[in-house]
Amino acid sequence: MPAEGMLLRIEDVEFSYEAVHTLNGVRFEARPGEFLGLIGPNGSGKTTLLRCINGLLKPQKGAIYLEGSQVSKMKLSEIAKVCAGVPTDIPDDFNISVEEYVYLGRYPHVENIWWEEREDEEQVEHAIECFELDPLRRRKLFEVSSGEKERVLLAKAVVQEPKVLLVDEPSAHLDLKFKLEVMERLHELSRRGITVIVASHDINLLIKYCDRVIIMKNGGIVKCGSPEEVMTPELIRDVYEVEAVVVREDGELVAVPKRPLREGEKRCAPGKG
Amino acid sequence: MAKDDRRTMVLALLVVVIIAVPVVVFASMQNDNSNPTSSTVDSDALGRMVNVTSFARVVSCAPDITETVYAMGHGDDLVGVTTFCDFPQDVLDRKVAGTLTEIGGYWDPSIEQIVDLEPNLVLISSGVQTHLALIDRLEAKNISVVAFYPGKNLDEVFTNIDIMGQVFNDAKKASQLTAEMSSNMNKIKAITSVHTIKPKVLFAVWLDPLYTTGGATYVSDIITGAGGTNVFGYLTGWPQPSMEKVVEVQPDYIIVSGTMMLMTPEQIIESMHNDPIWGQTPAVKTGHVYVVAGQAENCFLRQGVRMVDAMHLLAEILFPNDFSADVPNTIGSEYQNYLTPLPDYASGGMTMLTPMAMTQV
Amino acid sequence: MGQSEKMEGQTTKRTKKRLYLIMLLGSVSLFVLFILYLSTGQVKLGFVESMQALVGYLGKLFSGGELTTSEFIVGEIRLPRAIAVIGVGIALSVAGAIMQAMIRNPLVDPYITGTSSGAAVAATVVMVIGFGITSSLLDFAVPIAAFVGAMAAFFFTMSLAEASGGRALNYVLAGIVTGTALSSVTTLLLTSFPTEVQDPLFWMFGSFNQIDWTKALLIILPSLVMCLIALLYARELNVILLGHEQSYQLGIDSRRLRRWMMVLAAMLTAVAVAFVGIIGFLGLIVPHICRIMVGSDHRLLLPASMIIGANVLLVADIICKTATGGELPVGAVIALVGAPFFGYLLVRKGREYAG
């Protein structure tokens, strides 16, 4: 039974890709409106975890609960009404306009087989306004710049009216300005009550905005807590095998990597199931 | 429509189709033939029993059928024939005069043109898919359809004549025809059977690549009936043997069907003389290459009543002395000039020429 | 800020308008071509005479009575043929559109899963090796065989594809395997029976000259129903273009949907091929022409493909019927008619059209 107020609950989830153990005894909870950051080295299971949350992958052990219902028992259409994912990028050969693309996000909610209803249009128009996509409406997707694309992706996710938003590497190919912009918008969404989970390699960006940070390694959660609790040189050394210092500058917490660990300096990371 | 209703809609549509299809099929199989009958065919080439309402205004969909109709004496009843129908001469004359309409080729008869002629009877070949497809629609217009065998061998040709006899309610004429043909075949056999060594014959339908006849075909039967041996009789169908095989079989006589080829018959013979392989065959060396074209070719390749003419002609080629015949190396539509009367050993006198030779103008 | 209120409802209205426009124009054109179709053929009937014959025929359908020759030609030969042409036109065009959405490749036509090769081999076997079936079913032997052959080839391709991963590329490769294997069997059959070659070859070129009412109904009813079913899933077809992961999180299992949609496309193709032989190019060109005209939204694309497909095939068959001498193969005429038009469209609007 879920605890009161918990939107998302992940209990002892284990997942394997053909005998490769990707997730091991993962558990955490998230409240509505929380902004969670998910960090960890390549292969730590961040993407797999996100895929388990929206039902794309089914964990072999353990359970995931969205709003009290177990994800593996929910119908796809029901999951889609609650949980939305923002992909890293849109394929370049996609020949539809921005407006049409955003409309696709309404799919889980559209009642009518053919035509959208007033409510759907309102949602889409609202999102277009919010993300300043009005001038780009009719442009085809491949004519849109990276920064603009990011807004388009977010708009589509937002019209899905999700309670949980899963974002995988949003800023990988964006410049400084757009990186910050994306995080600002996601932060704003979380203020509106949406639980946002962002997986990223950009640690400093996450710790700037997130309420809590989850750090993973080898399929398990090493630590889950506030940015200050998680961002310690010891943890960074254990998880990333990188020597780093954490400084506080102008009220901002920043991790500065110094050098990778040499062979002899590594040791087993804690938190392995 | 809401998404939930969709599944119901799909099922409903599928039910509609699943019910409608058998209904349509069933309805199409209902036949209604309540018309006065002039003749009845007990079993045509498709095994159908056909009531022929009238045999005035007949359409023929194959050249050999046309010839058989004429042989039965009912050429005047024809109103439609194929573009390939060209024998007897009356066919060509009537086409020119406009009293005989072309309804298409052999493989693609036009249902519209057939129906436009308002025929009572249409004669088709059971071996052609497009002919079979005509049956339903023609019968829907109360046009009788009778199917004939494609004529894979002599037996089928005789059966076709039988069926034709039923069509025209003239079994007597049909059996007369078959009797004459059989009798002539027997006469030819009687003459040629004195020779114990049968000449080896190669019949080439096409020369480049070589297409010839195997055993158990209509043409092979003609060769055997003429007293020769088909060099490729051990093969089946219409094979394409390699040139090495030609060297191996050493034909004494080569018959080439020449109408479709680009060269003239004389050029064909000459090219074979000059060819390294053909030139080595006994046939070429002894000057026994014969090119049949025009109506001569049709005797060999059109599986119909003139096959006896083909047999006769070939026998004369193989055994010129026995028939007092002198057949040139290139034979065209004047072939009947070379057919000498068949001696009637039983009565000691001469018998009539074959029926088709009589109808030539 | 106030601008967005004015735009409300515009998108749907715009899409609706475009749909109605293309359907209206297409239907008008279809009607004209239909009338033209009834007035043309190997027997020359004037326009007025053809229309009189049509009216006479329809009247006698209810009252019963002997048909005149013209009425027979127009009502029993040309009318069912026109309906069959429309049926095949919509079937192949929608099947092509579906397959292009499934495989996400513009070079795809409805035969890519081996349906045409399967139909060809089955039809050839029946035509060459002989019938041995009573004459009332004779006429159905080839269509039944062709339909079964087409579906069997498709299911073989599908099992091969699913066993090797079930992705779009797997289907293409499996289709190539099935298609080439079956084509070589057909070739072997034809070379072994050279005297029987004509019937199968004629069949393979595709032709409407054997259509009667039964066949026409057996084409149009399933085609219409299956196209309607496809239309019901138009929006889903849009969504799955996003790829498996994205459509999954929008609530669609794209792998499952793809399998069903492919079965539908295969059935549409099989129904068309069974009765008229292999008509190429239509399923390839028409969806592209429509995409250039109305875009990739399947709510516009599918209906447009239907109406444009029917139009194109009517034009092609009118040309076939009235060409000198015998009938030309329909597939070749479509290529002659459709390809230049497609080329023109490509040049004019090719820049916007990337996929």
Which tens digit of pLDDT belongs to each residue from B243-268?
888 888 889 999 998 877 778 888 88
Tell me how far the alpha carbon of residue B329 is from its chain's centroid: 24
Neighbours of chain A (3+ CB pairs under 8 A): B, C
**Dist. CA C279–CA C269, nearest whole Å:** 10
Beta bridge partners of B291: B256, B330
* CB crowding C157-173: b at 16 or more within 10 Å, else e: bbebbeeeeeebebbbb
C223 vs B contacts (CB less than 8 Å): none
Say if the Cβ atoms of C202 and B108 lie within 8 Å: yes
Q: Which two tokens stand for residue A167?
A: 């974002």
Cβ atoms < 10 Å from Cβ of A232: 14
Overall residue count recorded for chain B in this entry:
361
Tell me how far the alpha carbon of residue A257 is from its chain's centroid: 24
Q: Residue B175's pLDDT band (boundaries 50, 70, 90)?
A: very high
Tell me how far the alpha carbon of residue C302 is from its chain's centroid: 12
Helix axes A146-159, A118-130, angle to 10 degrees: 150
Say if the Cβ atoms of C8 and A105 lie within 8 Å: no
Q: Does the structure show a pLDDT above 50 at C3?
A: no
Residue B314: per-residue pLDDT:
92
**Burial of C103 from C-beta contacts in 10 A (0-12 / 13-18 / 19+):** buried
Tell me how far the alpha carbon of residue B36 is from its chain's centroid: 31
* Pairing outcome for strands A61-66 and B78-81: unpaired
Q: Which two tokens stand for residue B90?
A: 């009356």
Strands (E), A52-202: 61-66, 69-70, 83-86, 164-168, 195-199
**Alpha helices (H) along B29-167:** 63-71, 89-97, 111-116, 129-132, 134-140, 154-167
Say if the Cβ atoms of B137 and C218 lie within 8 Å: no
Q: Identify the closest residue of chain A to C7 by CA–CA distance.
A: A125
Say whether residue A83 is in contact with chain C using an 8 A CB cutoff: yes
C73 vs B contacts (CB less than 8 Å): 112, 115-116
A80 vs C contacts (CB less than 8 Å): 249-251
Q: Residue C350's pLDDT band (boundaries 50, 70, 90)?
A: low
Q: Residue B230's pLDDT band (boundaries 50, 70, 90)?
A: very high
Say whether residue A85 is in contact with chain C using an 8 A CB cutoff: yes
Q: Tell which phi-psi region holds residue B133, choosing left (phi > 0), alpha (psi between -120 and 50) or beta.
A: alpha
Task: Check residue B53 and report its DSSP letter.
Answer: S
What value does the mean pLDDT take over residues C333-346?
A: 79
Domain C14-352 homologous superfamily, CATH: ABC transporter involved in vitamin B12 uptake, BtuC (1.10.3470.10)
Say if the Cβ atoms of C139 and B136 lie within 8 Å: yes
Q: Identify the closest residue of chain C to A139 by CA–CA distance.
A: C352
Selection from B205-214, C2-11, C101-110, C312-321 with the highest mean pLDDT? C312-321
Q: Identify the closest residue of chain C to B217 by CA–CA distance.
A: C195
> How close A115 comes to chain B (CA, Å)?
9
What value does the mean pLDDT take over residues A37-59?
A: 86
Looking at every residue in chain A, the average pLDDT score rounds to 84
Instruction: Find the CB nearest C214 among B10, B24, B115.
Output: B24
pLDDT (tens digit, 9 = 90+) per residue, C150-166? 999 999 999 999 999 88
Selection from A84-93, B266-275, C308-317 with the highest mean pLDDT? C308-317
The candidate with the shortest Cα–Cα distance to C217, out of B11, B10, B16, is B16
What value does the mean pLDDT take over residues A239-253?
A: 85
Q: Identify the closest residue of chain B to C194 by CA–CA distance.
A: B238
Looking at every residue in chain C, the average pLDDT score rounds to 87
Selection from A32-36, A94-98, B35-39, C338-342 with the highest mean pLDDT? A32-36
Chain B residues within 8 angstroms (CB to CB) of chain A: 1-3, 6
Q: Residue B350's pLDDT band (boundaries 50, 70, 90)?
A: very low
pLDDT (tens digit, 9 = 90+) per residue, C70-125? 889 999 899 999 999 999 999 999 999 999 988 887 778 899 999 999 999 999 98
Residue A19: per-residue pLDDT:
67
> How close B71 comes to chain C (CA, Å)?
26
Selection from B108-122, B323-337, C322-336 with the highest mean pLDDT? B108-122
Q: Identify the closest residue of chain C to A83 by CA–CA distance.
A: C249
Residue B203: per-residue pLDDT:
92
Which of A88, A100, A120, A197 to probe by mutation at the C interface, max C CB count within 10 Å?
A100
Helix axes C135-163, C115-129, angle to 10 degrees: 150
Residue C137: per-residue pLDDT:
60
Say if the Cβ atoms of A107 and C239 lie within 8 Å: yes
Q: Residue A20's pLDDT band (boundaries 50, 70, 90)?
A: confident
Residue C105: per-residue pLDDT:
76
Cis amide bond preceding B209, omega within 30: yes
Identify residue A242 by its one-letter amino acid code: V
The candidate with the shortest Cα–Cα distance to B275, out of B290, B260, B285, B265, is B285
Q: Which two tokens stand for residue B161?
A: 């004549």
Looking at every residue in chain B, the average pLDDT score rounds to 86
Residue spans per domain, chain C? 14-352
Residue B89, helix vs strand vs coil = helix
Say whether residue C301 is in contact with chain A using an 8 A CB cutoff: no
B6 vs A contacts (CB less than 8 Å): 113
B23 vs C contacts (CB less than 8 Å): none
**Dist. CA C125–CA C113, nearest whole Å:** 20
Neighbours of chain B (3+ CB pairs under 8 A): A, C
Residue C355: per-residue pLDDT:
45
Q: Does the structure show a pLDDT above 70 at B351?
A: no
What value does the mean pLDDT take over residues C313-341?
A: 81
Residue C227: per-residue pLDDT:
96
Q: Does the structure show a pLDDT above 50 at A272?
A: no
Residue C344: per-residue pLDDT:
80
What value does the mean pLDDT take over residues B346-352?
A: 39
Residue A5: per-residue pLDDT:
56
Selection from A249-253, B259-263, C304-308, C342-346 with the highest mean pLDDT? C304-308
Chain A residues within 8 angstroms (CB to CB) of chain B: 110-114
Element (H, E) at A123: helix A118-130
Q: Residue C351's pLDDT band (boundaries 50, 70, 90)?
A: low
What value does the mean pLDDT take over residues A165-174?
A: 84
Say if the Cβ atoms of C326 and B238 lie within 8 Å: no
Sheet containing strand A220-225, strands side by side: A83-86, A164-168, A195-199, A35-39, A212-217, A220-225
Q: Identify the closest residue of chain B to A114 by CA–CA distance.
A: B1
**Tally of CA atoms within 13 A in the half-sphere of B69 that contains its CB:** 32
Q: Residue B58's pLDDT band (boundaries 50, 70, 90)?
A: very high
Task: Check residue C77 and report its DSSP letter.
Answer: I
Say if the Cβ atoms of B3 and A114 lie within 8 Å: no
**Dist. CA C216–CA C299, nearest whole Å:** 27
Task: Check residue B109 and report its DSSP letter.
Answer: B
Say if the Cβ atoms of A93 and C3 lie within 8 Å: no
The candidate with the shortest Cα–Cα distance to B136, out of B64, B57, B48, is B48
Say if the Cβ atoms of B237 and C41 lie within 8 Å: no
What value does the mean pLDDT take over residues C261-283?
A: 93
The owner of tokens 């000459």 is: B270
What value does the mean pLDDT take over residues B163-174?
A: 91
CB neighbours of C157 closer than 8 A, spacing ≥ 6?
C113, C114, C171, C174, C175, C177, C178
